[in-house]
Amino acid sequence: MSMASESNNRDEISKWLRLHLTGQVGPRTFGKLLEYFGGIDGALGASAGQLTHIDRISHKKANQIATNRDAVDVDAELAFADKLGVEIICIESECYPPLLKQIYDPLR
């Protein structure tokens, strides 16, 4: 993998981690956000008001998500993964196991 590819991949992983580690965002909410907003960029860019359009996201929860997603220390998480020799992948990664994508509720 080239340096540019590694950098782009790390940027994408950072986005996924930012949303995944945001308080009030569990696996189901994560999936709903991706689906409703058309991907990770849309989900991260959504305002608190836009977040309330999703089923089971109240105004309070939407405000918490919008506030907390910017407070996540993604760099610390990535450094910790590097220290442990762990590779973080997301469902859009080429190396994500194809059979996992086919299960009812795939890990994201």
- For 44-59, the pLDDT digits (tens) are 999 999 999 999 999 9
Residue 107 is predicted with a pLDDT of: 62
d(CA 2, CA 100) in angstroms, rounded, equals 27
Name the residue ranges covered by the structural domains of the chain. Answer: 3-101
**Mean pLDDT confidence for 7-25:** 90
User: With a threshold of 0.75, does the pTM exceed it?
Assistant: yes
Closest CA to 56 of 79, 26, 83, 78: 26
108 contacts 91 by C-beta, under 8 angstroms: yes
Does residue 4 have a pLDDT over 60? no
Sequence-separated contacts (24+) of 83-87 with Cβ below 8 Å: none
Tokens of 26: 């569990």
CATH for the stretch 3-101: 1.10.150.20
Ramachandran angles phi, psi of 31, nearest 5° = -60, -40
Count of other CB atoms within 10 angstroms of residue 92: 13
